[in-house]
């Protein structure tokens, strides 16, 4: 059986701790990434809804502007 020096065992222990920390960080980043994807999808849906509402408002304003008589139309009618 081979015996390892105390320094080598300490190095293995340090490496093991760093691997554990890396695994925890990876899991935390995956979780954060999933949350960000959900938020991004929600914001995209909200943006689409706001764009739709702005288009409707634009169409209503355009229709109102078309219904306002212009001075030329008033003069022709007189």
Cα angle 19, 38, 32; round to 5: 20
Ranges of each domain in the chain: 14-66
Contacts of 4 (CB under 8 A, 6+ apart): 12
Q: Does the pLDDT value for residue 78 go beyond 70?
A: no
Q: List pLDDT tens digits, range 25-76.
A: 999 999 999 999 999 999 999 999 999 999 999 999 999 999 999 887 556 6
Residue-level pLDDT at 68 = 92
Give the Å distances, CA to CA, from 45 to 24, 37, 38, 51, 63.
32, 12, 11, 10, 27
Q: List pLDDT tens digits, range 21-31.
A: 999 999 999 99
Q: Does the pLDDT value for residue 1 go beyond 60?
A: no
- State how far the Cα of 12 lies from the Cα of 18, in Å rounded to an integer: 10
- State how far the Cα of 18 lies from the Cα of 24, in Å rounded to an integer: 10
When the pLDDT of each residue in the chain is averaged and rounded to a whole number, the result is 90
């Amino acid at each position: 059986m081979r015996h390892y020096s105390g320094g080598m065992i300490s190095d293995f222990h340090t490496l093991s701790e760093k691997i554990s920390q890396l695994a925890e960080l990876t899991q935390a980043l995956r979780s954060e990434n999933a949350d960000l994807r959900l938020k991004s999808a929600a914001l995209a849906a909200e943006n689409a809804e706001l764009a739709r509402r702005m288009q409707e408002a634009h169409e209503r304003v355009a229709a109102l502007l078309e219904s306002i008589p212009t001075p030329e139309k008033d003069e022709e009618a007189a």
